[in-house]
Amino acid sequence: MITEHAILPVIAGRESEFEAAFEQARHIVSAMPGFRSLTLSRSMESRNEYLLLVEWEQLEDHTVGFRTSASYHQWKSLLHEFYEPFPVVEHFELVNSAFPAT
């Protein structure tokens, strides 16, 4: 499993529009083969920045499967107008984790 990580810098004043568009777009990515989970979080300090985390079975599920699909064009048309500058997307693999003791 890999985690896609992106800080999404949304144009100030367009946060509500972005969140509404994302509500539609999340259904697109969640239907893709290899998709495992998604979270979108809003920064408490910089209210126009969002953290997108998407878990995929393997890197190619995102970089090839999603990004070369017709679904990606739908995603792009819904969301890309909101970013300034365009986000950097990186992929991470788990090295370590911890959970509360029971």
Percent of the chain having pLDDT more than 70?
100
pLDDT per position as a tens digit, 40-86 = 999 999 999 999 999 999 999 999 999 999 999 999 999 999 999 99
Could you read off the pLDDT of 10-37 as tens digits, one per residue? 999 999 999 999 999 999 999 999 999 9
Please determine, for residue 102, whether its predicted confidence score (pLDDT) is greater than 90: no
Query: Average per-residue pLDDT in the chain?
Result: 97
Q: What Cα–Cα distance (Å) separates residue 99 from each residue in 30, 61, 77, 96, 102?
A: 26, 27, 38, 11, 9
What was the pLDDT predicted at 25?
97
CA distance from start to end of the chain? 25
Q: Which residue in 17, 18, 38, 19 sits closest to 28, CA to CA?
A: 38
Whole-structure pTM value: 0.94
Give the pLDDT confidence score for residue 40 in this predicted structure.
98
Q: Where are the alpha helices (DSSP H) in 31-64?
A: 59-60
